[in-house]
């Protein structure tokens, strides 16, 4: 039962913060692990069965976990490993669990250093060769006599940059251990990453596989409702709003992260306006804002020449030319490069970059037939011009270019 103290705290905080919307904003953060994960019972049980032998001191199978972004892989693994750790403590089992995000760790060295720290092996921040740390890790591990469960989240990041040598060593390590054993849980949303693994590593790593399917709109609705109960005050969230969040996220690719983001941003919009309820209008605005931010980030992180190609498409659109075919783009691109004091890439490279921008949706290209003159590509901007101005003007190198009148375009016949 709630104590009266607690109720008052809530009232005071509520008043002080001025929010009439959020009871607890934290539970909508990406790294929050809820106590209940609807529609993942099967995966939780499966991973539970795989890891359970560790509780009685036996090694468990390695497992690869797959599924698109936002399908609950990280949440499920953290959930199961937290429960396992609790149970191991109760039983006094010699199990250690270490969860590492390989993308955030960045290097093999840091992944390995994290594993070492987890079992109290001291390693310097830098300075040792990876092989040297690995030996230290192995010796110390053996002397501790434990089952070490290692979860490598976003494992593809490790392999993409460094190849699979650390994974190779880790999947072989048990051959040289008597008293301790290592079990690996690999997690990835990149299905192609399997192809980049040495077949021996792949077969050891994927003794078991668990697949996470995208959520349906109904499943997302259940997830959102659970979270909304904690996140918002009663009666703040309208049914239409939460259903819309679920439907929009399901239409994308069944991504629970997107659904929760929509809910949070919609709540923030309502709060900022001092409104009492979150409605569908707020959700639609949230959707626009999230998409805008994504486009913004995508453009900002492009390499220079891709930005210049976008600028080229910007000018073609601004001067309303019909000449946005590959060859024309290249001429204008070269002029803009010159104007910026950058040497242009070859036409071939530029074509490659145009394809990449097309895949990102920042450009739209369409192949058109020129009858007996063959075919060409017609290229247009995939985002509003003002977004290009907004993002690229933040970069000093590009600020002045927006007032420029390209000679190439001026010289074209009407």
Ligand X SMILES: Nc1ncnc2c1ncn2[C@@H]1O[C@H](COP(=O)(O)OP(=O)(O)OP(=O)(O)O)[C@@H](O)[C@H]1O
For Mg ion, the binding residues (CB under 5 A) are 74
**DSSP conformational letter for 215:** P
Instruction: Calculate Rg over the CA atoms of the chain.
Output: 27
Smallest distance from the beta carbon of 22 to ligand X, in angstroms? 16
Measured at the CA of 105, the angle between CA 104 and CA 110, to 5 degrees, comes to 175
| Position of minimal CB gap to Mg ion | 74
Residue 240 interface partner, choices Mg ion, ligand X, none, CB cut-off 5-8 Å depending on type = none
Angstrom distance (rounded) from CA 259 to CA 47: 25
Measured at the CA of 272, the angle between CA 269 and CA 277, to 5 degrees, comes to 65
Smallest distance from the beta carbon of 63 to ligand X, in angstroms? 15
Using CB under 6 A as the binding rule, the residues of this chain from 223 to 242 that contact ligand X are 223
Q: Which ranges in 98-216 belong to alpha helices (H)?
A: 102-105, 108-118, 130-144, 155-162, 165-172, 199-205
Smallest distance from the beta carbon of 34 to Mg ion, in angstroms? 14
406 contacts ligand X (rule: CB under 6 A): no
Angstrom distance (rounded) from CA 233 to CA 270: 13
Decide whether 154 or 328 has the Cβ nearer to Mg ion: 154
Smallest distance from the beta carbon of 226 to ligand X, in angstroms? 6
Site string for ligand X, 196-225 (x = CB under 6 A): ---------------------------x--
Q: Is the dihedral of CA 228, 232, 235, 236 positive or negative?
A: negative
CB-based contact 161:153 (threshold 8 Å): no
Task: Give the residue from 113, 119, 123, 112 showing the smallest Cα distance to 97.
Answer: 119
Decide whether 189 or 281 has the Cβ nearer to ligand X: 189
Smallest distance from the beta carbon of 81 to ligand X, in angstroms? 13
Choices 36-44, 83-91, 106-114, 341-349; region in contact with ligand X by CB under 6 A: 36-44
Tokens 């591990």 belong to which residue? 141
256 contacts ligand X (rule: CB under 6 A): yes
Using CB under 6 A as the binding rule, the residues of this chain from 138 to 197 that contact ligand X are 189
Query: Which tokens is 289 given?
Result: 């804002």
Q: Which of 136, 257, 289, 318 binds ligand X (CB under 6 A)?
A: 257
Q: Which of 166, 184, 202, 260 binds ligand X (CB under 6 A)?
A: 260
Decide whether 31 or 175 has the Cβ nearer to Mg ion: 31
245 contacts ligand X (rule: CB under 6 A): no
Residue 352 interface partner, choices Mg ion, ligand X, none, CB cut-off 5-8 Å depending on type = none
For 265, counting Cβ atoms within 10 Å of its Cβ (0-12 exposed, 13-18 middle, 19+ buried), the class is: buried
Using CB under 6 A as the binding rule, the residues of this chain from 37 to 76 that contact ligand X are 37-40, 67, 69-75
End-to-end CA distance of the chain: 78
- Contact residues for ligand X (CB under 6 A)? 30, 32, 34, 37-40, 67, 69-75, 189, 223, 256-257, 260
């Amino acid at each position: 039962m709630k104590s009266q103290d607690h109720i008052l705290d809530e009232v005071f905080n509520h008043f002080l913060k001025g929010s009439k919307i959020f009871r607890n904003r934290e539970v909508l953060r990406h790294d929050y692990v809820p106590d209940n994960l609807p529609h993942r019972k099967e995966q939780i049980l499966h991973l539970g069965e795989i890891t359970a032998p560790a509780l009685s001191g036996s090694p468990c199978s390695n497992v690869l976990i797959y599924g698109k972004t936002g399908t609950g892989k990280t949440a499920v693994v953290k959930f199961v490993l937290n429960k396992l750790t609790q149970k191991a403590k109760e039983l006094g089992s010699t199990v250690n669990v270490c969860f590492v995000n390989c993308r955030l760790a960045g290097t093999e060295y840091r992944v390995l250093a994290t594993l070492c720290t987890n079992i109290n092996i001291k390693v310097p921040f830098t300075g040792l060769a990876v092989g040297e740390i690995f030996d230290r890790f192995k010796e110390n591990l053996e002397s501790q006599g434990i089952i070490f469960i290692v979860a490598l989240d976003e494992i593809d990041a490790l392999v993409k940059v460094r190849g699979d040598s650390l994974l190779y060593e880790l999947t072989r390590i048990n051959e040289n251990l008597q008293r301790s054993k290592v079990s690996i849980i690999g997690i990835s949303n990149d299905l192609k990453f399997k192809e980049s693994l040495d077949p021996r590593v792949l077969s050891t790593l994927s003794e078991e596989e668990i697949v996470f399917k995208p959520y349906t709109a109904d499943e997302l609705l259940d997830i959102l409702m659970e979270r909304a109960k904690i996140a918002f005050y009663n009666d703040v969230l309208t049914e239409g709003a939460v259903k819309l969040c679920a439907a929009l996220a399901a239409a994308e690719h069944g991504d629970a992260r997107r659904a929760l983001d929509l809910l949070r941003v919609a709540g923030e919009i309502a709060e900022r306006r001092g409104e009492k309820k979150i409605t569908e209008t707020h959700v639609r605005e949230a959707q626009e804002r999230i998409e805008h931010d994504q486009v913004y980030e995508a453009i900002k992180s492009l390499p220079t020449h891709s930005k210049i190609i976008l600028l080229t498409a910007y000018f073609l659109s601004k001067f309303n030319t019909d000449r946005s075919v590959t060859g024309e783009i290249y001429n204008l691109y070269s002029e803009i490069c010159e104007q910026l004091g950058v040497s242009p890439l070859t036409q071939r490279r530029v074509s490659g970059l145009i394809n990449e921008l097309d895949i990102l949706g920042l450009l739209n290209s369409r192949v058109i037939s020129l009858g007996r003159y063959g075919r060409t590509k017609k290229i247009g901007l995939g985002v509003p011009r003002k977004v290009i101005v907004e993002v690229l003007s933040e970069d000093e190198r590009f600020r002045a270019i927006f007032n420029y009148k390209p000679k190439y375009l001026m010289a074209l016949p009407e």
